[in-house]
Amino acid sequence: MAPVVQIKDIHKIYESGEIPVHAVRGVSLDIHKGEFVALMGASGSGKSTLMNMLGCLDRPTKGTYKLDGIDVSDLDKNELADIRNQKLGFVFQGFNLLARTTALENVELPMLYGRHRRLSAGQIRERAMHCLEIVGLANRADHMPNQLSGGQQQRVAIARGLVNEPQVLLADEPTGNLDSRTSIEVMGVFQQLNDQGISIVMVTHELDIAHYCKRNLILRDGVVVRDEAVPNRSIASNELGKLKSAEAAAKLIANPVN
Amino acid sequence: MRFTTIFRVALRALRRNTMRSILTALGIIIGIGAVITIVSMGNGAKARVEAQVAALGQNIITVYPGSFSSGGTRGGFGSAPTLTVEDAEAIAAEVEDIDGVSPEVRDRNQVLANGLNWSTNINGESPDYPYIKNWNIVQGAMFTDQDVKSLAKVAVIGKTVVDQLFPNEDPIGQTLRIRNLPFRVVGVLDVKGFSLFGSDQDDVVIIPYTSHMRRVSRRSNISSILVQGKTSDKLDVVKSRIEDLLNQRRKGREPDFTVRTQEEIAATATETSKTMTLLLGGIAVVSLVVGGIGVMNIMLVSVTERTREIGIRLAIGAHDRDVLLQFLIEAILLTVLGGILGILCGIGASEFASAYFGLPTLISPTSVLLAVAVSTVIGVFFGYYPARKAAQLDPIDALRYE
């Protein structure tokens, strides 16, 4: 089967300053359906730039990018918007939910812009609700983002990313703003989705978070320096159990719940 | 994206930020309301001044006698007894484009009635007088040509005289005495108030000029001749016709009269009215600018602070057109809603001002239209333009916008 993401020797050069910045210098990458990839690297390694190109938010200066068999390198702005809408799901570090808008309405948002599907308001609501159920927030559908914890907000964002049944879910440091426990919970949601066959690419600079993924890519100075499968990956439900026991031991919570 | 969906999204966005929407609309409401109120108050004041000018009568030409001189002492205008009833009759008979003539005989005299007395102006006039002066009779009627011919002892009196002599009764049919002659009151003039020059125009008793000349003042000449011109554009022609006629009647003697049109007399008043119009225009422009800047600011701020929202929408697949349409609809909804409320507020405030402060107000449709047009254009432009700028950003830049 053809890879979902097929990148050949892409470059990104920022010309905005006096000196052109060569952020990505020739990355080639295939990501197949059902993969769970972590992009890692220090600040300035080009991982965010690569992520933006993967997400069709930014165009490569050079090289080709095929997403689900479609060459997106020379699509115009609106065609890229449609690709983002139909084939990609986004999860951002800062959640990027619309303020003063209920969780449900936030999740409905991508379906309002869908070009190919014509769904009724009822169908849209139903699908959004279904995605909230997947991330375990069905009972919070009417809450505003400011009434939700960081982890819950990120789960709403994940539900929003899922709602148009994307080929790839892209997550840019999804745990960057979360504490370790909530991070594990969010990674649990990702693992669960991945188990259902959804391909996920995420950027992180935390090793232990990357350890929940199946494949780790390490970037340095705009090139991939390491690309390996994670041998013994962490399973979120196990880790959460461990954490709970540890917290119970430290009297942080009342009693370990099994 | 379907239009209905965008419309729903726009409505949702407005509802979501109720406070911001209200504040934005408030800017428009106040902008439009202020312009309408101020212009209507200005218009009312202007109308009042114009009414005062109109109350002088319109298209009036007055013929005054020349100056009298005796032994080197020269009297002022009107001091010479050179105008006669025949002059007035000649004007009425021969000059074209006139609507009425009234020979005037003026005098001050003590008037008695009801055991009360009052010193007032006794004016001898023709029955054309109320028409020429644009002055209604509110009770009874003007005396007739027959009264003039028969030297009838009838009088039409002003409101001040009514108040002074007949404080508690119907003056019609009552008798007042001038120089001990009984005059029957046949009519009461409408309240005219003070003239532009400060005299009480209602303090007057009007009797037939013939009665005045033969019975009251016992003189053979008249004080002046009032002529009503038909149209304002022919006033100068009529004026020179009168001059020609009177010169002809004087058979080559030095002209011993002066003819003035009311335009000359009312020039000051017209000037005042012009100044008011200018002032009004200035105020309207300033209010429009102030209101417009208010609308512009709040729109600019509220759209600019939503750059991130635009970024989110773009990132998850909105076309820039979708975003633009959304903001356009929002801006139109706000400005239309604010416009309607602004008109209502403006009308309300005008009514309030006229009811509680006695300010005359006159709502001008032009000002309403202008205010609504200007703030709508400004509101829509500044709701749309920053959104357009944001929608043209790359989604990542819009997302990063703080």
The residue of B7, B11, B316 whose CB has the most chain A CBs within 10 angstroms, and thus the best one to mutate to test that interface, is B316
Instruction: Average the pLDDT over A54-68 and give the result.
Output: 91
DSSP E strands in B126-179: the ranges are 137-140, 154-157, 175-178
Check CB contact under 8 Å for B317 and A85.
yes
Residues of A in contact with B9 (CB under 8 A): 112
Check CB contact under 8 Å for B319 and A52.
no
In angstroms, what separates the C-alpha of B385 from chain A's closest C-alpha? 19
The pLDDT of residue B235 is 81
Q: How confident is the model at residue A126 (pLDDT cuts 50, 70, 90)?
A: very high
Check CB contact under 8 Å for A90 and B322.
no
Check CB contact under 8 Å for A96 and B308.
yes
Nearest to B6 by CA among B322, B335, B370, B356: B322
Report the sign of the C-alpha dihedral through residues B246, B250, B252, B258, in that order.
negative
Rg of chain B over Cα atoms, rounded to whole angstroms, equals: 33
* CATH class of domain segment(s) A37-57+76-249: alpha beta
Distance CA B36, CA B370 (A): 9
Report chain B residues touching chain A, CB-CB < 8 A: 1-2, 5, 9, 12, 16-17, 308-309, 311-322, 394-396, 399
CB B116 within 8 A of CB B164: yes
The pLDDT of residue A12 is 92
Contacts A–B by Cβ distance under 8 A: 66
CB B75 within 8 A of CB B67: yes
A79 to chain B: nearest residue by CA? B319
Instruction: Average the pLDDT over A45-67 and give the result.
Output: 91
**pLDDT over 90 for what percent of chain B?**
11
The pLDDT of residue A25 is 92
Residues of A in contact with B321 (CB under 8 A): 78
In angstroms, what separates the C-alpha of A243 from chain B's closest C-alpha? 34
Instruction: Average the pLDDT over B8-12 and give the result.
Output: 85
Distance CA B34, CA B189 (A): 40
In angstroms, what separates the C-alpha of B35 from chain A's closest C-alpha? 35
pLDDT in tens, A208-244: 999 999 999 999 999 999 999 999 899 998 988 888 8
- Among A81, A92, A97, beta carbon nearest to B314: A81
Domain ranges within chain B, ordered by starting residue: 3-52+270-400, 60-265
Q: Is the model's pLDDT at B78 over the cut of 70?
A: no
Q: How confident is the model at residue B336 (pLDDT cuts 50, 70, 90)?
A: confident
